[in-house]
Amino acid sequence: MAFDPTKPVRTRDGRPARIICTDREGNGSRTGGNFPVIALVKDEGSLCETILSLTKEGRLYEEGEHGGDLVNIPEHMFTNLYRCCGAGPVHKTLEHAIVVAVKEIRVGWVGVLEQAMDGEFVAFHPATKEW
């Protein structure tokens, strides 16, 4: 999957990140030119964010992969599951799927299936009385 700086990102090794700009100017190896993306990365236990300059593909170095490379956070889809009639429509957030299931008061609601957009299983969120 190609890197898209307009979508949510994290580092390859899982740290939270946010892009500040994608058009840094300059012509040196680390002063723009080849590294126009500026991102802030939150390190665990740190009180401040680390500033990274990256290639337009989100890479920390021009060659190879590194834990500091930026990757897009996979988008997920959420589907309500029911004992009586299978699955309901797809929702963009877990919260919305729960609101719809509770509002509809569907008998036999068992929970919400969370999947990556490619259909890969991510998690099952069982229905609880708190919902």
Q: Left (φ > 0), alpha (ψ -120 to 50) or beta: where does 5 sit?
A: alpha
Residue pair 119/74 in contact by the 8 Å Cβ criterion: no
Say if residues 88 and 99 touch (Cβ distance below 8 Å).
Answer: no
pLDDT for the residue 26: 76
Q: Coil, strand, or helix at residue 112?
A: strand
pLDDT of residue 31: 55
Name, in order, each residue with C-beta under 8 angstroms of 39's C-beta and a sequence gap of 6 or more.
9, 17, 18, 19, 20, 51, 52, 54, 70
Domains of the chain: which residue ranges? 9-72, 76-126
**38 contacts 30 by C-beta, under 8 angstroms:** no
Distance in angstroms (rounded) separating the CA atoms of residues 91 and 98: 9
Q: What is the per-residue pLDDT for 69?
A: 96
Segments of the chain scoring below 50 in pLDDT? none
Q: Looking at residue 11, what is its pLDDT?
A: 94
pLDDT tens readout for residues 25-36: 876 555 556 899
**Predicted local confidence at residue 97, as pLDDT:** 92
